[in-house]
Structure 1
Amino acid sequence: MKQKYLLTLPLLFLLACNLVTAPATQTPTVETQPTETQPAQNPEEPGTSSAPVNLNDYAIFSINVQDFSYPEQSAAVLEKIVTLHETYNVPVDIYLTDVMAQIYAEQFPQLLERLKTSPVVAISYHYRAPRPYANKYDWLGLANMSADDLYQTLLRYETHAVDPVTGQTTDAPGGYQYVASLIGYNPYAASSISSDANTDDAIMRVFKELGAQMTVIHGRALNLGDVKKGLYIRPEHYDYMLFQNVGTDPAASFENALNEAHNSQGNAPYFVGVKMHDNDFFAAKSAWLTVYVDGGKRPNWNPDLKSPLLSQAEQDAVWAMYEQTVIYAASQSDRIGIVNLPMVLDMIP
């Protein structure tokens, strides 16, 4: 069992203004406030069920929340997802960016409260562009910084909000630390998506110091208990991107993913990672790709750019695929354990 901590961190920051109007300040690389260099308090995590034992196969459902362009649609689909998972008692990991956490806190506080208190939900953190340590996105020149300047810069980015136009940090709270303050515990996982080795080292250090217990990587078999730079790695033997399988038979497609996990050359128990993004349910492309990739990879950006929405028929097809996958997985509980990250942590010897 991993150490639990007292739930002491209150909801510190409900911002009065949105991210677009937050005052931008130049991102410093050396000077930081003293509080930024200290690891965050590790508050108590919500109570979770025990992981099913004596099984050879497991599934982890993950929802990556990131679509700031259509907040109403994002909130609506998250409500449906949580209801579905609660109905069938299927654990799920919800990955929030700081931008989406702020949107939910300000515009959909009941949803945020539900995510915090649902018995099947565990919250983790992820980041996206325009943070300059997104994959191959170093518009700020991080690769040319000294080790200390790089660390201090990334620490500021993970404790402050980011101006969506300039990509610079603001004086408002943001990053991993802000999400922790809103949900009342440290998000279980936080991951580097930088291809630069020095940046990867620095951001992993920042996340570990701020309280993350796990991280996520892709591209190979990841066994239970594997570690990267002091953080446990989310186990995964097959990355089942469900959004790429819409229109297939849900049961057959899930079983194929399980077979792929067994063929991964990894070690049992085998884990299938079932992945979706909030925008998969309603938009043709994610907001961050639309603004920060299609709109160019250097500032200034136009955060008002929007991807087209899917047709209603397309949205219905995506939801049907997801719903039937959850229902099928729940029906196989005698041979497939469904877990979220706190349950995985409890499985590690």
Structure 2
Amino acid sequence: MAQTRKFISQPRCIYTGKRLDPSDEELKPSHEHIIPLSLGGSNQFTTDDVSLKANNKAGDEIDDAVASTLPFLMLRHRYKLPGNRKVIPSLTMKGDFIDINAPAEMSISAQGDIEFEFRNEQKTSGKIISLGSTEERVRFFLKARLEQAQQRKLHLYTQFGEVTDEEDIEIALLLANRNEGREFKARATIDVAALNEARARLMVKIALGLGHRVLGPEWTFGPGGMMLRSHLFPGTKDLNFGHLKGTINADIPELLSHIFGLDDNRHVMAVLPAGKQTFALISLFGGQIGNAIVDLGYDSRRKFNRAINKDERLDCAFSIPLNVSGSRPLVTRSVQELANTADFNNLLPKSRAEAERFLR
């Protein structure tokens, strides 16, 4: 009689391996999006097998670390992806107005509104204050200074005379140098090493959720899943079953791109066997920020063979469209549907004999 594997049969957190406990505030199950909503995830592509503490930790250290970077922010703006907080952060870039020699920061909202915040807008030399900013900002400063002067019964002067009311402010603005700053040169600084590390951790996190959904807890809490977990949170103590294998910048052959439907306007994820190995394909935004291939460290031939030979549905590929309004649906495809799409072109077997040759 086969023995029950208690470690696997008990409900556990897929990110930490710890047993879930509804009575414990930190270890109680929580609702986790396999792909964060802020990056275009779907409410249909989730798992409840994550502890609340690990969920929050992954959100802070992994999801937010990626979603706030410039390349991902640009994609969030393009596809209007607000995330759980219902807000899409503005794109900000530091630079200089060349024509007035003024450093500033440009902010672009998700609606396309552009604002500038000048640094060193006010320069003081004795009782003389120099203002270098846009007309609206100078107007704001002068009104505030006028109010202060009136309260203290002092005088406010510009190079064009005394300012006693808002009309004087408008006159001063008309007579002032109208070169408001029409040539802005921005600088975008990206720490490529930090970005790649953040992307890699995100792909490991997604691969864990993806493998758990397709292969089940036997993989999740076996050597393959534990190997991925040991690379999820740096510094955590976990059994290390070897080095993680894969890449976050894979070149996907045209045939595979066609079969899986890789496109800029959707996310595509899949779990497939390749001989004795099993890999996860993760293509976010159609590969605009790289396609990931992650070795799951697992021999899934038995699982895929059974599905093919007995014609049992095994969902192993998923896609999420991005250019839709409202909740994004999850499109699920089985191994048989992938085989049909591939027209059995040596990618997936259509008979038991071919399956044995392919999976040997």
TM-score norm. by structure 2 comes to 0.23
Q: Which has the larger radius of gyration?
A: 2
Richer in strand (by share): 2
